[in-house]
Amino acid sequence: MEKETRERKPHAILDEDSRYKKAKKIHVIVERFGPSKTGNFLEVGTGSGFIAAYFTKIFSKVNAIDVNDQRQTKENINFKLVSGTKLPFSDGYFDLAVSNHVIEHVGDYTSQLDHLSEIYRVLKKDGILYLAVPNRWRIIEPHYRLPLLSWFPRFLSDLYVKLTGKGKFYDCLPLSRNGAFEILQKSGYEVQEVTIDAIRIYGEVEAKNPIVKFIATLPRFFFLLFNPWIATLIFVCKKKSK
């Protein structure tokens, strides 16, 4: 299968406040579900750079890459511009890698598999991958704000985007829950989904709306009712034990 080569536009969120809150949520999740590490950190698809900047206070070395340079901060970050999914780092180097709403932008299934496999390669034996991806079955697609956009076959999603004047084609490929598990396991990871736990943490450290904060405190079974359509899927992944 050949890799997809369609040009994709950047969708990075660049404001400082929301990115630092996002970084704090990522930090809390990783501390809760993975071993505490303070060595080498990598953010794949850094966008504004604010998430990577947050982790400069925690990790000894912070690296970030992206296919576009949209950084709003360059604070103590080793940044590299890349042209695809290959990572310019040696094997087994990083303690923590973050791929936050990036995998849906890298291309087709082959490119997504390369994205995860490259992160696997550069992680230490006991390293952690934090992966967040929009749920394919969420009601409103987050990049184009169109209902059910990611539900359709690719050619219909392309047509939908074009007819609504949002672009020439749909340039994202969100994953379903089953799809995320399948591609992560194929890449060699032990996978733990932490989506519902992350909703609670979101209410604690990221949400501004008091109603949203309250909803985040509801019992776990409440979220299980809406599990198929939860907006974002979050995973903490480790290399499989051999």
Per-residue pLDDT, 6: 62
- Tell me the domain boundaries of the chain: 16-138+174-239, 141-172
pTM here is 0.91
Please say whether the beta carbons of 142 and 134 come within 8 A: yes
Q: Find the length of the chain.
A: 242
Per-residue pLDDT, 225: 87
Contacts of residue 177, defined as CB under 8 A and 6 or more positions apart, other chains included, come to 135, 193, 227, 228, 233
Sheet containing strand 123-134, strands side by side? 78-81, 61-66, 40-44, 94-100, 123-134, 232-239, 189-193
| Angle in degrees, CA 101, 129, 231, rounded to 5 | 35
**CA dihedral (103, 59, 30, 145) positive or negative:** negative
**CA dihedral (51, 230, 34, 98) positive or negative:** negative
Instruction: Tell me the mean pLDDT in the region 138-143.
Output: 96
- CATH topology classification for 16-138+174-239: Rossmann fold (3.40.50)
Instruction: Tell me the mean pLDDT in the region 183-200.
Output: 95
Per-residue pLDDT, 206: 81
Please say whether the beta carbons of 135 and 94 come within 8 A: no
Per-residue pLDDT, 169: 95
Distance CA 121, CA 142 (A): 30
Distance CA 14, CA 90 (A): 29
Please say whether the beta carbons of 93 and 60 come within 8 A: no
Residue 105 has which token pair? 């932008």
Per-residue pLDDT, 17: 86
Encode pLDDT of 199-239 as tens digits.
999 888 887 888 888 888 888 888 888 889 999 999 999 98
Residue 141 has which token pair? 């697609």
Contacts of residue 113, defined as CB under 8 A and 6 or more positions apart, other chains included, come to 183, 186, 187
Give which of 211, 135, 131 is closest to 176, Cα–Cα. 135
Encode pLDDT of 14-63 as tens digits.
778 889 899 999 999 999 988 777 899 999 999 999 999 999 999 999 99
Q: H-helix or E-strand containing 126?
A: strand 123-134
Encode pLDDT of 76-132 as tens digits.
899 999 999 999 999 999 999 999 999 999 999 999 999 999 999 999 999 999 999
Instruction: Tell me the mean pLDDT in the region 128-156.
Output: 97
